[in-house]
Amino acid sequence: MLVIFDLDGVLVHTAHIHTDALHKAVTTVIPNHTMLSHTLVQMNASDGIRTRDKLAILKQQYSISKSELEQIDLLKEELTYSELLNLSCNPLYMKGFKELKSAGYTTAIASNTRRKYVDAILSGLGLFHYVDHSIAGDEVVNGKPDPECFIQVMKRSKHSPSETTVVEDSDAGIAAANASGAHRVVRIYPRKLITYEQIFQLAHKREHTFNE
């Protein structure tokens, strides 16, 4: 059996880091552009959308040059990574993932965020060595709500959709999980992270109350 976790909103809260970094990068490279800034704020309110997809929208709407996009992307990456390095280890999550692996589960991460960030987050949380497979947003063509990331994890781990549980929180993530055909899709209540008890319940196939 396979359990695939999203990262942000499920195991850690980093959305504010990404949105703040992107906003700072955009307004630094292209200052005093009121409409662009307003559009960015609206996009940042959407759950589960990759930075590259947000930048593609901004490029189309405001004719941002390739050079400006590259500067924004680089600055956003630097700002985000420096913040992610400050994440602290979560012993309860380590215990929960040990429970899953002891119960015979394969564990995986499928995230819209970049590989550099995925590795930094997993290392910071102390989970790097407890995750069997991971797919990052820069390793797929289409980000969530497209199911590509989940399908790729299933292929890599050699599990069928009928053997797969996905744990997600965002609308885009839930749509992607459902489209992947995963047998079970568990939604974490917005603005709450999964708990050790809920991971334990997953491992031992017990009834759970994830949405309370």
And the tokens for 139? 């390793």
Q: How far is CA 170 from the centre of its chain?
A: 9
Is 205 exposed, middle or buried, given 0-12, 13-18 or 19+ CB atoms closer than 10 A?
exposed
- Give residue for tokens 């910071």: 124
Is 179 exposed, middle or buried, given 0-12, 13-18 or 19+ CB atoms closer than 10 A?
middle
pTM for this prediction: 0.81
User: 94-122 burial, b for 16+ CB within 10 Å, e for fewer?
Assistant: bebbebbeeeebbbbbbbbbbeebbebbb
pLDDT tens readout for residues 96-150 = 999 999 999 999 999 999 899 999 999 999 999 999 999 999 999 999 999 999 9
pLDDT tens readout for residues 31-70 = 877 787 778 777 766 656 778 888 888 888 888 888 998 9
And the tokens for 160? 């069928």
